[in-house]
Copies of this chain bind each other. A is one copy, B any other.
Amino acid sequence: MKELMVIYHEEPKLRTPILVEGLPGVGNVGKLAAEHLIMKLKAKKFASIYSKHFPPQVLIGNDGVIRLVSNDLYYHKTKSGSDIIILSGDYQGISQEGQYDISHEILDIFERYKGKRIYTLGGWSVGKLVNQPRVLGATTTLPLVKELKAVGVEFSKDEPAGGIVGAAGLLLGLGQLRNIEAACLMGETSGYFSDPKSAQAILEILGKLIGVKIDFTELEQHSKEIDDLTASLNDMKPPTVKPDELKYIG
């Protein structure tokens, strides 16, 4: 089998697009952010990436129809300036070698669309509850560092120790070798659960960077639910929220 299959549902014409990546990872921050962006921009799925480096698994829709696990690309056309491609999906590559293959494929697609810049989104675990998550950055070039600082991204000499692993790191690392400008936005998170507050923090910064105004109603509501639950747990009383309000947790 080919390592990877890319199936195009549509081949949109895009103007020097910006790629935003958010896949499962620490605190699910990147994926939460990417999916919120897809929903709010009504971005349209145009390509699916299937790979033997994803688990051999199908998911079952509510209608009983399956789909093979994948990574998916969505596009959103802007009035002026760069169009936006958003990458999200069910899994990252299960092997370390596979993660390299998949990131290379994504960069190939990005270059075919004459993409301009990549933003990868992720969480950065601090191991304790965070009230006001900071957004840390890392980039492929020094001018980009300056640009990110101007919109509130922090750069910290010792954080995150160990650098960035997975797609959020590889798209930068392999992108740099191809002379593609790329930056990673990392939202501070406890890492204990899926963290909508951290996702919102990076989207607030990303909105400024890509010139898009984002409504945060749903993320704010989920954050509030989690805050309430955390408060309840701290009070040693059973939580009062209903189970299906918690679908983002875990």
Contacts and interface: CB of A to CB of B under 8 A. Distances in A.
A173 B67 contact: yes
Given A56-B169, A58-B164, A165-B56, A64 B99 contact: no
A11 interface: no
B94 A94 contact: no
A160 B63 contact: no
A226 to B, nearest CB: 22
Interface string A37-60: 000000000000010110111111
A37 B64 CA distance: 26
A57 B104 CA distance: 14
A57 B167 CA distance: 9
Q: How many copies does the complex hold?
A: 4
Interface centre among A96, A164, A172, A184 (most CB of B within 10 A): A96
Interface string A82-103: 0000000000011111111101
A173 to B, nearest CB: 3
A223 interface: no
Interface stretch (A12-20, A109-117, A134-142, A187-195): A134-142
A37 B9 CA distance: 39
Interface centre among A50, A57, A94 (most CB of B within 10 A): A57
Interface string A157-179: 10010111111011011101100
Nearest to A160: B60
B137 A68 contact: no
B5 A169 contact: no
17 contacts: A7-B177, A56-B166, A56-B169, A57-B162, A57-B163, A58-B170, A60-B160, A60-B163, A64-B142, A66-B138, A66-B139, A66-B173, A66-B176, A67-B176, A68-B170, A68-B176, A94-B96
